[in-house]
Amino acid sequence: MSHDPNCIFCKIIAGQIPSKKVYEDADLLAFHDIHPWAPVHVLIIPKLHLASMADLTDEHAPLLGKMSVLAPKLMKELGVNNGFRTVVNTGPDGGQEVYHLHMHAMGGPRPWLKG
């Protein structure tokens, strides 16, 4: 698998940087975001280093599908029952800060929102 020795997410995958893991298999790692935007906020990342969604090709479709199917499973396991949000930021104008493809899955009550 491709690995970037300077990538923070590659270092998390390699175990060089600790994370609060919620899921791991041969292809993916999911862990709690250290700066959550919601009560439940996990990042789902491929173990294959892909800088962004812009780098995906047809061969990556199963990987992205696996990430998309994992998000609702994790939200349910983490007690999110009233909906959740998934976000993939791509490139500088898309708000991407870490250049390793990742999906944010966020849910749980957000008391700062007005009803």
pTM check: above 0.85 = yes
Residue from 57, 73, 58 nearest 25 by CA: 73
Average pLDDT over the chain, rounded to an integer: 94
Say what the pLDDT of residue 42 is.
98
Q: What percent of the chain has pLDDT over 90?
A: 87
Domains of the chain (ranges, CATH numbers): 8-107 (3.30.428.10)
Per the CB < 8 A criterion, the answer to whether 17 and 31 are in contact is: no
What's the rounded mean pLDDT across residues 13-29? 97
Strand boundaries in 49-102, DSSP class E:
84-87
What's the rounded mean pLDDT across residues 57-69? 97
Whether 115 has a pLDDT exceeding 60, the answer reads: no
- What pLDDT band is residue 27 in, cutting at 50, 70 and 90? very high
Whether 69 has a pLDDT exceeding 80, the answer reads: yes
Catalytic residues: 102
- Point out the least confidently predicted range of 44-53, 54-63, 103-112: 103-112
- What pLDDT band is residue 2 in, cutting at 50, 70 and 90? confident
- What pLDDT band is residue 1 in, cutting at 50, 70 and 90? low
